[in-house]
Amino acid sequence: MLLIAVAGLLTPFLIATAQNEAQGNVATRATELSQDKMEQLLALPFADPGLGGVMAASSTLGAVPPAAGAAGYVDYLDQTGAATAAPGFYTRQWSITTDATATLKTITVAVRARNAVGSLGLAPSTTLVCLKSSGL
């Protein structure tokens, strides 16, 4: 009797374990990809064109979900993180927003997997936000 109960619970346990492991890998990769982009952007000088150049006060360039990607502020990546054509497995979007004095930029990077892993759950995503000062 105990053997029948254990055998009945084994299949759902194995399915849940496999889905959790795969979902964890995709979510970890999404975090890694967002961190890579954030580090790349933070390494640029404040007025670099990659950070929007000299921006007007209280302005935003780029877009993050749920908005559609803005040209120059979105890229598509395969499962290994290599650049690929849209839609890719991951979509990485970023935006740069200045404060009212135009001396502080808020950089937001969001990565979303195209699909959920397994039959249940949401597609993994991550969003990072950092500030960069002009030094004034």
92-132 tens-digit pLDDT:
999 999 999 999 999 999 999 988 766 566 788 999 999 99
Measured distance CA(97)–CA(55) in Å, rounded: 9
Total domains, the chain: 1
Q: How confident is the model at residue 24 (pLDDT cuts 50, 70, 90)?
A: confident
Q: What is the phi/psi pair of residue 80, to 5°?
A: -95, -5
pLDDT tens-digit map of 43-95: 999 999 999 999 999 999 999 998 999 999 999 999 999 999 999 999 999 99
**Would the pLDDT of 135 be above 80?**
yes
Q: What is the pLDDT of residue 84?
A: 95
- Domain holding 71, by residue range, is 2-133
Half-sphere exposure of 101 (CA within 13 A, CB side): 6
pTM: 0.82
Name the DSSP letter for residue 60: E
